[in-house]
Amino acid sequence: MRTQVAIIGAGPAGLLLGQLLTRAGIDNLILEQRTPEYVLGRIRAGVLEQGAVDLLDEAGVGARLHAEGLVHGGIEISWAGGRHRIDLNGLIGGKHVVVYGQTEVTRDLMEARAASGAPSVYEAEDARVQGIDGERPSVRYRHRGEARTLECDFVAGCDGFHGVCRQSVPASSLRTYERVYPFGWLGVLADVPPVSAELIYASHERGFALCSMRSRTRSRYYLQCTLAERVEEWPDERFWAELVRRLDPRAAADLVTGPSIEKSIAPLRSFVAEPMRCGRLFLAGDAAHIVPPTGAKGLNLAASDVRYLFDALLAHYRHGRDEGLNAYSERALRRVWKAERFSWWMTLLLHRFPDHGPFGDKIQLAELQYLFDSRAAQAVLAENYVGLPY
């Protein structure tokens, strides 16, 4: 088989790139190790920057997002028994974010791809990327017990942190940067109305908490926990009781609880691989970088990677120009590192770090007080939260 662009990974990055390429008349094929049901079953965040929303519109999959997504013009930070609103809309000229679950983004993209007839191969096993330094790269894999080879012009590595694409880059050509945080997030999904119309980020002496949502009837809540803890140690009753302890009195009184429909613990890390290109292999999304979820940047960084890569491939195929391909890694990494900085700062601002000590606790307190007292500091937070320009 042959295609112009082989896309490894059917998460949002791979599906979005494939949708844009298909609409532009550029042949592509998506290879995915898992089943469609598994891909759709992954629970992820869903705070979208305007740039991501615009790109989904360009891909022709924005109708349900605009019908069901929740437009948020601010966020709230709970601290010392009170709540402080960061007016995203007012601070930076009418900008906002849209809450729409990553699962729903994936579903919309899957349905659009099926309707277009563009090919996808699920349960593609033992994928190996070859020949990326030459003119004719290929991907070898097994499907239903049969060995297959996909020849292509370019490979887009959208297969996540544990995927094969980054592992296909020679170690001598790749440099990685990583920080692993000494805690995780225990997340619960429940069919209960959100406790607030906007997200609440809670800084508390018992640990961080986040009140988020997926819709007007489905909520997503998180608690900071140790990496030694297990989901089985957190029955619903214990989770809700602990969440109440970490919220301000008004939110605690308004909280509606109910049985969880999903519960998991996710470790937090910051990770970047440089460069994001090796020959004819281009990394995008979690294959190249991971951010702690505090700043809501994971899916949005994947979208900006796709923006840069799609524009570069379009210029190559339509005009024979490769400046965009040559500049892809540098351009994407500039935005990646700014998002890494913001996500690191938000994590540092709101979580309890076991090794901070009294001095670190005082610095965190001063940082919060400065944020609430300074409109300029709030504007910096708002500018980064709604998303820096592409």
Q: Judge whether 82 lies within some domain.
A: no
- Supply the pLDDT for residue 43: 72
Do 376 and 341 touch, CB atoms closer than 8 A?
A: no
Q: 263 and 139 in one domain? A: no
257 by DSSP, 3-state: which? coil
Inside any domain, residue 79: no
Same domain, 126 and 145: yes
Q: Answer whether the bond into residue 137 is a cis peptide, omega within 30°.
A: no
Average pLDDT of the segment spanning 173-180: 97
Question: What pLDDT was estimated at residue 152?
Answer: 98
Same structural domain, 129 and 188: no
Provide φ and ψ at 188, rounded to 5°: -130, 135
User: Is there a contact between 271 and 161 (Cβ–Cβ < 8 Å)?
Assistant: yes
User: Are 222 and 299 within one domain?
Assistant: no
Mean pLDDT of 95-120: 96
Instruction: Provide the number of structural domains found in the chain.
Output: 2
Positions annotated as catalytic residues are 72, 201, 293, 297, 385
Tell whether the model's pLDDT for residue 265 goes beyond 80: yes
Q: Do 203 and 341 share a domain, yes or no?
A: no
Does one domain contain both 203 and 281?
Answer: no
φ/ψ of residue 40, rounded to 5 = -70, -20
Looking at the domain assignment, is residue 156 inside a domain?
yes
Same domain, 39 and 126: yes
User: Within a domain: residue 78?
Assistant: no
Q: How far apart are CA 79 and CA 167, in angstroms?
A: 42
The pLDDT value recorded for residue 46 is 87
Domain presence at residue 311: yes
Contact 176, 290 (CB under 8 A): no
Same domain for 52 and 134, yes or no, is yes
286 with 339, same domain? Answer: yes
Average pLDDT over residues 61-88: 97
pLDDT of residue 41: 85
- CA 221/CA 218 separation, integer angstroms: 10
What does the alpha-carbon distance between residue 27 and residue 21 come to, in Å, rounded to a whole number? 7
Q: What is the DSSP letter of 172?
A: G
Find, among 44, 80, 286, 75, the residue nearest to 194 by Cα: 75
Residue 27 has pLDDT above 90, yes or no: yes
Percent of the chain residues past pLDDT 70, beyond the cut: 100
- CB contact at 8 A, 87 and 382: yes
- Return the closest-CA partner of residue 251 out of 214, 209, 293: 209
Q: Is the pLDDT of residue 249 over 90?
A: yes
* Predicted confidence (pLDDT) per residue in 127-171, tens digit: 999 999 999 999 999 999 999 999 999 999 999 999 999 999 999
CA–CA gap between residue 211 and residue 250 (Å, rounded) = 13
Q: What are the tens digits of pLDDT across the range 36-73?
A: 999 998 877 789 999 999 999 999 999 999 999 999 99
Residues 162 and 297 in one domain: yes
3 near 18, Cβ under 8 Å?
no
- Rg (the chain; Cα; Å): 21
CATH code assigned at 201: 3.30.9.10
Which strand (E) or helix (H) includes residue 98? strand 97-99
Amino acid identity for residue 55 in this structure: L
Residue 233 tokens read as 């140690």
User: What does the pLDDT average to over 273-289?
Assistant: 98
Alpha helices in 24-133, H assignment, sequence order: 36-41, 50-58, 63-68, 88-91, 102-116
pTM of the model: 0.96
Mean per-residue pLDDT, 372-390 = 97
Stretch 250-271: mean pLDDT: 97
Whole-number Å distance between alpha carbons of 24 and 78: 46
C-alpha to C-alpha distances, 59 to 109, 152, 282, nearest whole angstrom: 9, 23, 20
pLDDT in tens, 344-354: 999 999 999 99
Structure tokens at 332: 């994407």
For residue 141, give its domain range: 5-72+96-177+269-347
Number of helices (H), then strands (E), belonging to the chain: the values are 13, 20
261/287 same-domain check: no
- DSSP, collapsed to helix, strand or coil, labels residue 259 as coil
Half-sphere exposure for 328 (CA within 13 Å, toward CB): 30
Domain assignment present for 90: no
CATH number of the CATH domain containing 54: 3.50.50.60
Question: In this structure, are 203 and 257 located in the same domain?
Answer: yes
Quick check: is 88 in a domain? no
In a domain, 77, yes or no: no
